[in-house]
Amino acid sequence: MPDDFLARLEQAEAFEDLQTLILELRDHYGVGHMVYHWVSANGEQYGCGTYPPDWVQTYIERDYLRIDPVVLGCYQRFHPVDWRKLDWSTKAAKALATDAARFQIGNQGYSIPIRGPNGQFALFTVCDHRDDLAWDEFTRENQRNLILIAHYFNNSALMIERGRTPTAAKPLSPRETDALTFLAMGYGRGQVADMLEISEHTLRAYIESARLKLGANNTTHAVARALAEGLIITGGATNGAVGNWPGRYEIQGKQGVA
Amino acid sequence: MLRYIYGSDLARFPRLEESMFLDRADQFKHRLGWEVTLDTKGWERDEYDDLNPLYVIWENPDGTHGGSMRFLPTVGRTMVNDHFGNLTGGGPICDPGIWECTRFCLSPKSESKIAAALMLGGGELMRHFKLAQFAGVFDARMVRIYRMIGSSPVVLGESGTGRGKISLGLWSYSPQAHLRVAQSAGVSLALSEKWFQRSFGAVELLLSA
């Protein structure tokens, strides 16, 4: 890896610094792209990388996060994954792959899942256009350093976005999670009780126990806390999650998106 | 056969899952008398099983559990750092190149070569994922077993004496040790590789698909 790279990575103070570093790293390794991608529990995406901003925008707009075999194959896991070993057979995955090819993302990829504090999840990806043998050789030679670099990127990102680091919370039961999730989606109590096929009385008990676990003063407070702590998820692009990505605003400006 | 299964996928192997947690209850609660808790089904599960660990499991021909161990990355929450901080000889172990290995368990019916097969599975994880080390806490009775298998750890710290002695060890990968362990297990490296690919995917199969 480049000289002092890890030390410089540790000193990064903003995502823009991480962006500068990842560009240098990509050039050093002579690969197509490198990306650090932090997916928070509410579907917001943060990161830096060398993907063309148009591709990042397409990815967010089409909500590819939900079907991306790389994300699905890495989420909640912790072993590095070669993209060839993922399941690309679904229709949605094929569409994603076709789209990615338009932006020349590369025919090979290698992703390192990162399990941070309190269930934080991020990915570090390297991709390129290479034949199988050359890619095998590249990953074999660089795997260990890339894993180390991936975790340094994540540590710096956690420092920079300290407020986004998930905090430890008492886990909610499946029913409590369901109840708060539907409330967060805007349904009334009657509707939520119907959807869960329970009485409103029982629903009240679930909401109450969730409220106590979350240390919240009322139901609204409980929903807000559960969302903030990532205990319930109401979808990424569907709830207007934005995230932050160098180059993202430039594109939005171009397209006149607020 | 060795299987590598994340916690979130265990339910796809109900027979294996049930017999593993029951064997763990048998070993840790009943035979070793550890202070572990059993749930209403009599399964020995703890909070680390809720963190979606990766299990390496020996599956008997009838689909039941022959032996297992549990892995978690040390960059996340681990048992070593939560409970055995006194043995690390300094700060917590937190390194992307080190996974912790806990709940090394053998079914009462299993032969000793199953223990070697599990260590072989651990070696495959180190080899494929370029891990520097595994960290694990073990008691005195395991020292002899590790030596027999041909994979003894470097000891970082110890507490207690005699049979009650608890040690924290680090295992590293070496091709020589890997081969020794494979021989103890009576499993060829080629077969071990096939089992690994079965769990983690094989590049060749996907390319031809």
Residue in A77, A84, A150 nearest the CB of B6: A77
Q: What is the pLDDT of residue B5?
A: 95
- CB within 8 Å: A78 and B73: yes
Q: What is the pLDDT of residue A245?
A: 55
CATH of domain B2-202: 3.40.630.30
| A44's tokens | 């917001």
Cα dihedral A125, A130, A133, A134 sign:
negative
Asked if pLDDT for residue A239 goes beyond 50, the answer is no
Taking the CA of residue A172 as centre, how many other CA atoms within 13 Å lie in the half-sphere pointing to its CB?
27
- CB within 8 Å: B96 and A151: yes
Q: What residue of A is the nearest CA neighbor of B78? A: A117
Q: What is the pLDDT of residue A163?
A: 66
Q: What is the pLDDT of residue A251?
A: 46
pLDDT digits (tens, 9 = 90+) for B95-117: 999 999 999 999 999 988 999 99
Q: Does B200 touch chain A (CB under 8 A)?
A: yes
Domains of chain A: 5-165+240-255 (3.30.450.80), 174-228 (1.10.10.10)
In chain B, % of residues over pLDDT 70:
96
Among the listed residues B69, B26, B27, B19, the one whose alpha carbon sits nearest the alpha carbon of residue B48 = B69
- SS3 of chain A: the string is CCCCHHHHHHCCCCHHHHHHHHHHHHHHHCCCEEEEEEECCCCCEEEEECCCHHHHHHHHHCCHHHCCHHHHHHCCCCCCEEHHHCCCCCHHHHHHHHHHHHCCCCCEEEEEEEECHHHCEEEEEEEECCCHHHHHHHHHHHHHHHHHHHHHHHHHHHHHCHHHCCCCCCCCCHHHHHHHHHHHCCCCHHHHHHHHCCCHHHHHHHHHHHHHHHCCCCHHHHHHHHHHCCCCCCCCHHHCCCCECCCHHHHHHHHCCC
pLDDT digits (tens, 9 = 90+) for A66-118: 889 998 888 878 999 999 988 888 899 999 999 999 998 989 999 999 988 77
User: A114 contacts in B (CB within 8 Å)?
Assistant: 75
CB of A244 closer than 8 Å to CB of A48: no
Asked if pLDDT for residue B203 goes beyond 80, the answer is no
Instruction: Give the CA diameter of chain A.
Output: 64
Per-domain residue ranges for chain B? 2-202
Among the listed residues A99, A35, A34, A38, the one whose alpha carbon sits nearest the alpha carbon of residue A64 = A99
Cα dihedral A71, A74, A76, A80 sign:
negative
Residue in A82, A85, A148 nearest the CB of B96: A148
Compute the average pLDDT of residues B168-175: 93
- CB within 8 Å: B202 and A85: yes
Q: What residue of B is the nearest CA neighbor of A89? A: B209
Asked if pLDDT for residue B78 goes beyond 60, the answer is yes
Q: What is the pLDDT of residue A228?
A: 75
Asked if pLDDT for residue B24 goes beyond 70, the answer is yes
Q: What is the pLDDT of residue A113?
A: 94
Asked if pLDDT for residue A258 goes beyond 70, the answer is no
- Give CA separation, A24 vs A30, A55, A106, A160, in Å: 10, 20, 19, 20
Choose between A120 and B25: higher pLDDT. B25
How confident is the prediction for chain A on average, in pLDDT? 84
Compute the average pLDDT of residues A29-40: 92
Asked if pLDDT for residue A254 goes beyond 50, the answer is no
Q: Is B150 left (phi over 0), alpha (psi -120 to 50) or beta?
A: left
Among the listed residues B97, B54, B92, B133, the one whose alpha carbon sits nearest the alpha carbon of residue A151 = B97
Q: What is the pLDDT of residue B2?
A: 96
- Report residue A1's pLDDT band, with 50, 70 and 90 as the boundaries: confident
ipTM surpassing 0.95, yes or no?
no
Question: Comparing A44-53, B27-36, B181-190, which segment has the lowest mean pLDDT?
Answer: A44-53
Distance of alpha carbon B95 from alpha carbon B72, whole angstroms: 11
Distance of alpha carbon A207 from alpha carbon A227, whole angstroms: 14
Q: What is the pLDDT of residue B172?
A: 93
Q: How many separate helices (H) and strands (E) can be counted in chain B?
A: 7, 7
pLDDT digits (tens, 9 = 90+) for A167-214: 556 678 888 888 998 888 888 999 889 888 889 999 999 998 888 888
pLDDT digits (tens, 9 = 90+) for B136-157: 998 888 888 888 888 889 998 9
Asked if pLDDT for residue A126 goes beyond 90, the answer is yes
| Highest mean pLDDT: which range of A112-126, B16-30, B136-150 | B16-30
What is the C-alpha R_g of chain B?
Answer: 16
Compute the average pLDDT of residues B169-185: 93
User: B52 contacts in A (CB within 8 Å)?
Assistant: 76-77
Distance of alpha carbon A222 from alpha carbon A232, whole angstroms: 11
Q: CA B135, B141, B180: angle at the middle one, nearest 5?
A: 65
CB of B25 closer than 8 Å to CB of B44: yes
Distance of alpha carbon A153 from alpha carbon A155, whole angstroms: 6
Among the listed residues A99, A103, A66, A97, the one whose alpha carbon sits nearest the alpha carbon of residue A84 = A97
Asked if pLDDT for residue B89 goes beyond 70, the answer is yes
| B96's tokens | 């992307």
- CB within 8 Å: A115 and B96: no
Q: What is the pLDDT of residue B209?
A: 36
- Report residue A6's pLDDT band, with 50, 70 and 90 as the boundaries: very high
Question: Comparing A34-38, B88-92, B136-140, which segment has the lowest mean pLDDT?
Answer: B88-92
Q: Please, which residues 98-127 of chain B have a Cβ atom closer than 8 Å to chain A?
A: 99, 125
How many residues appear in chain B?
209
Supply φ then ψ for residue B59, to 5 degrees.
-100, 125
Among the listed residues A125, A127, A131, the one whose alpha carbon sits nearest the alpha carbon of residue A113 = A125
Q: What is the pLDDT of residue A123?
A: 93
- Report residue A134's pLDDT band, with 50, 70 and 90 as the boundaries: very high
